[in-house]
A and B are shown apart, each in its own frame.
Chain A
Amino acid sequence: MHTEHTIESPNERQNRHKAMEAVHILNALKEDFKSPLKSMDYFYDLYEKVYCRHEPLHEGKTKIGTMCIQIPSEIIYALDAVPIRLCNGFYTDDEIGSDLMPQKSCPLVKATVGWFASDNFTDKPSIVYSPTTCDQKTKAGVILKEFGHDVIDVGFPRTKESEESRAYWRESVKHFAVNLSKFQGKKLTRSNMENSIKKVGYAQSLYHRLCDYRKEHKVPILGVEMFLITNAFFFDRIDSWMSAVEKILLELEERKRSSVHVAGKASPRIVYTGSPPIFPNYKIPLIIENSDALIVADESCSSNRMFNDMVSVDEWNLYDMIDSVSDKYLKACTCPIFTQNDDRIRRIVRLVRDYSADGVIYQAFAGCQVYEMEQRSVLAAMEREGIPILYIESDYSPSQQGQLTTRVEAFIESLKNRKRMKK
């Protein structure tokens, strides 16, 4: 007997571990729920292709890495490049990054840093734009630079009320556009910018149409499915993403006609807020939806915050288009990095009312200081509004499952009781 023995390289090992994480979540989505959407197959295939088989999606295109939602994808598409959002949800990468970042850092940032440290990409970004949002993201950009990646800081203000902030951010976006235009050797024109604004706008309008179904009494789509769809926008080819969502909309319409409800009759409706669930870190959303509750809306930057606010142009000339795009990423943004954040609170309350939610679940990644700090004001505001809220801290580790499940289940039980009492 003779067997060929090869030693797995670190990158192969990393890929294998990431594939295991990915498959685990995809299987849970496919098999744990009573009525999975057929048209979700596109997304399962997409994630398998990228994270299990590690096949590139954008061969021949320039990939532009973005560290946060604030880098305008409209400008990247207009310059014929592809935005790749680098926010990472893999525990495998988080572990690699842990050696390079302080112990109490945000797992999302650690995972991004770990990913770059291993330099193991299927669609490697040629250049990375890093908006100066939270401290950790800002400083992580510098670490990536030390690894030899091309990283450009894009100055982002941390207040949004003032005139100076608006002007500063508009200038930052202009610099970004000029810089990228040079990098790409392509001119930003009125027509390519207009087309790209309308294209991204159409993608956003599809998101809003998906959300309309979640407002219904009988909800035909799961929260985790929504997260998978919106998350794909981080890296997918925009045209295929849009046609896949169009198909989902058709299936939802069909389901609406036959009154399909993906949860139980008494399942509490939840608004999720806080640190973004990014594939495959769907730990909390999965616990919620496996505990007989349904996420009907969210306020997080991997979903709602990415799609909710659309660019509004008054004069379709380049000057106004760039300003409108800039304003969208600053003024409407509910990111907790801002000093005051009444807008985030008002958004959560609005979502609870519009989607007839029974409660809010607020997750903060351990180490995500801004979300941790904003917990106080959000909890106080929810109390004022009479909206039940559960605050949980977690990270990317597969441990804690039991403890988290207990807390979420208890909260959902109390919501059910509350619902019964109201009747």
Chain B
Amino acid sequence: MKNKFSLRRVVNNMNLVRFRFWFQIVAFALIVYGGYIGLDLGDKLPTFACVFNSEGTGGKCYVGELQHDLKSTFDTLAGYAGYAFLISLGMFAVWFWVLNKGWCGFVCPLGTMQDWLTMLREKTKIRFSEYSWANRGKIKSIKYILLFLLLLLPVMIANSVFGIPKLPNGLSMPFCDICPGRMMIPAFTGDFNQFYIDFSSKTDIVMTTIGMIMTGLFLVGSFIKKRFFCYFCPMAALQYIFSKPALLKLYKDGAKCTRCGDCYRACDMDILEIADDVTSKNLVTEDCTLCLKCVAACPEDGCLEANFMGATIFESTKEGFILRMAMDQNKENHAH
């Protein structure tokens, strides 16, 4: 028999939901309040550490920086601004490679907030809603469109592209304007100043209004749909471009898969491939948040695993599954 006290076994038997809950709280604290203890992880973070939370933030979101970097004339972009852009992007990629999409599932404060709303919904016994598979496929492209726009608009402010006149300066941080993080994250440090509509120009009125609507949608949407915002997140789109060489991976051994769909049902992002794909090894798909709930929900020994630089760190086991589902004993009345 396997050694009862081996570390591997302890890890594989862990209650992932609880572990992740606490991990997310710590990460949330560092990202949202880290600034108060002098933490500064730089401005290339592959997660929503909001620049508008100026005092509290423990680092800054790269999407904000990216928009800033691109607001240069073509001439400067071809010169030093181009180098600066590439260096920033490289830094972002390095940060990202450490955790891969795990940034979304374990660190992102917006993701964590959505998970808290999910917990609240679960307490109220309201069923979560799902997209139909057809719609689920269609909305995949929205995040890429948003990413494209947030890259293009800053360029179009500084330059006249295809003869279109330069765009107004109010669009300099187009994504930040509509990102729910701008309002929600500072709110956690008691700063509600971002909840406003800016009447200084037409562009500002439109953008800040969309921002207010987005925040409303974020709160309502993620209450009824798990990780509602993540389906549309341009950060996820940007990250996915760099995902292949990342160090943390979600691997699947298709030969061990029964296609029972337990992983799919556990998946907050309703990723069908996780259950149905029995040929690919790397299952970090574009919407994956590497939350590892699928690994915890898989009852087959060694079918799914979280792998860091070639080493298995957490894998699905029958024993772990049975423990997590509390099916290891015959108890007549379970405590709730």
Contacts and interface: CB of A to CB of B under 8 A. Distances in A.
Interface stretch (B7-15, B149-157, B168-176, B319-327): B319-327
Interface stretch (B24-32, B122-130, B217-225, B230-238): B122-130
Given A198-B325, A319-B127, A331-B261, A349 B255 contact: yes
B244 interface: no
Interface string B179-207: 00000000000000000000000000000
B18 interface: no
Contacts of B91: none
B266 interface: yes
Interface stretch (A58-66, A114-122, A306-314, A398-406): A306-314
B219 to A, nearest CB: 20
Interface in A368-393: none
B256 interface: yes
Q: Is the interface of B mostly helix, strand, loop or mixed?
A: loop
Contacts of A328: 260
Nearest to A256: B1
A318 B331 CA distance: 19
A246 B336 CA distance: 26
A312 B330 contact: no
Interface string B295-333: 001010000000000000000001001100111111111
Contacts of B257: 346
B20 interface: no
Interface string A292-331: 0000000000000000111111110111100110011001
Nearest to A309: B260
B48 to A, nearest CB: 25
A365 B128 CA distance: 44
B3 interface: no
Interface of A: 161, 163, 190-191, 194-195, 198-199, 201-202, 204-205, 208, 239, 242, 308-315, 317-320, 323-324, 327-328, 331-332, 343, 346-347, 349-350, 353
30 contacts: A198-B325, A198-B327, A199-B330, A201-B325, A202-B329, A202-B330, A208-B318, A208-B322, A239-B330, A308-B258, A310-B327, A312-B262, A312-B266, A312-B297, A312-B321, A312-B325, A313-B325, A314-B265, A314-B266, A314-B293, A314-B297, A319-B127, A320-B127, A324-B262, A327-B261, A327-B265, A346-B257, A346-B278, A350-B255, A353-B255
